[in-house]
Amino acid sequence: MTTGNLKSQLAGLVKLQALDSEIYALNNEKLAKPEEIRAMEASFEEKKQGLAALEKKVLDLLKQRKDFELELATKEEATKKLQGQLYALKTNKEYSTMLQQIQDSKADASVIEDKILQTFEQTDKIKAETEQEKQKIGGEEKVFLEQKKKAEIRIKEIDDRLAQLEAQRKQILPDIDQKILAQYERILANRDGLAIVTVKDNSCAGCNMFVPPQVINLINMYEHIITCEMCNRMLYVEE
Ligand SMILES: [Zn+2]
């Protein structure tokens, strides 16, 4: 290979690298999108489950209240029955015992009434909480859907840009020697999408490793492709 030839080959690789760097960044951005959407969706779903739990609590309280109401009705029925029996009693002792029973039964009913009242208060509280939560989730759903839409639009933009870049890549490829291209693509795959880097201020722009002057001389001779000892990337010097 002649000197001029390798020089133009490297120039071709530098052009290719500009495209590949953008392709690499875009692919990374695109790959991260589904995970971003999933994370947003998961946090949103979690809140929806919280809301479902609140709604279940309201139903549980309703059931509890019905049980209490049934219990209260039974207790009131029993009180009435005792009161009915009261006048049939013959002795004072029987009478006062029965009165005590009636009082106890009424006290029991009063406790149940308090419990019913409490379920009403709790239900109101949880219903208010549910309403608040619903509004919050409604707002968050809007934000989530907007972000999801944005991500989808961005993915479409990326795909369009990637298609452009691939087309530009195809135009450059025929000018590059197969063996050199194979070496370049091997490094590209192993070194985060960066295969050829410039030497600036005596250091490799890929890994910042010091590049000795004699190596820079070798690069400028264009006899062989020179790679960085540290990161293995191809080196070139800007003119
Ligand atoms: Zn390096």
203-235 pLDDT per residue, tens: 999 999 999 999 999 999 999 999 999 999 999
Task: Give the chain's radius of gyration (CA, Å).
Answer: 41
From first CA to last CA, the distance across the chain in angstroms is 21
Q: Which run of H or of E encompasses 36?
A: helix 3-86
List phi, psi (to 5°) of 226. Answer: -105, 130
- Distance (angstroms) between ligand 1 centre and the Cα of 233 equals 6
- Distance (angstroms) between ligand 1 centre and the Cα of 31 equals 27
pTM above 0.75, yes or no: no
Residue found under tokens 């959407």: 37
State pLDDT tens for residues 155-175.
999 999 999 999 999 999 999
- Distance (angstroms) between ligand 1 centre and the Cα of 65 equals 74
- Distance (angstroms) between ligand 1 centre and the Cα of 30 equals 27
Tokens of 9: 């080959």
- Distance (angstroms) between ligand 1 centre and the Cα of 213 equals 15
DSSP 173: G
The reported pLDDT for the residue numbered 2 is 52
The reported pLDDT for the residue numbered 3 is 52
- Distance (angstroms) between ligand 1 centre and the Cα of 227 equals 8
The reported pLDDT for the residue numbered 212 is 96
State pLDDT tens for residues 31-77.
999 998 999 889 889 989 999 999 999 999 999 999 999 999 999 99
State pLDDT tens for residues 16-26.
999 999 999 99
Long-range contacts of 2-6 (CB under 8 A, 24+ apart): 3/221, 3/222, 3/223, 4/222, 6/222, 6/223, 6/224, 6/225
- Distance (angstroms) between ligand 1 centre and the Cα of 209 equals 5
- In angstroms, the CA 57 to CA 54 distance is 5
State pLDDT tens for residues 131-154.
999 999 999 899 899 999 999 999
- Distance (angstroms) between ligand 1 centre and the Cα of 179 equals 21
State pLDDT tens for residues 118-132.
999 999 999 999 999
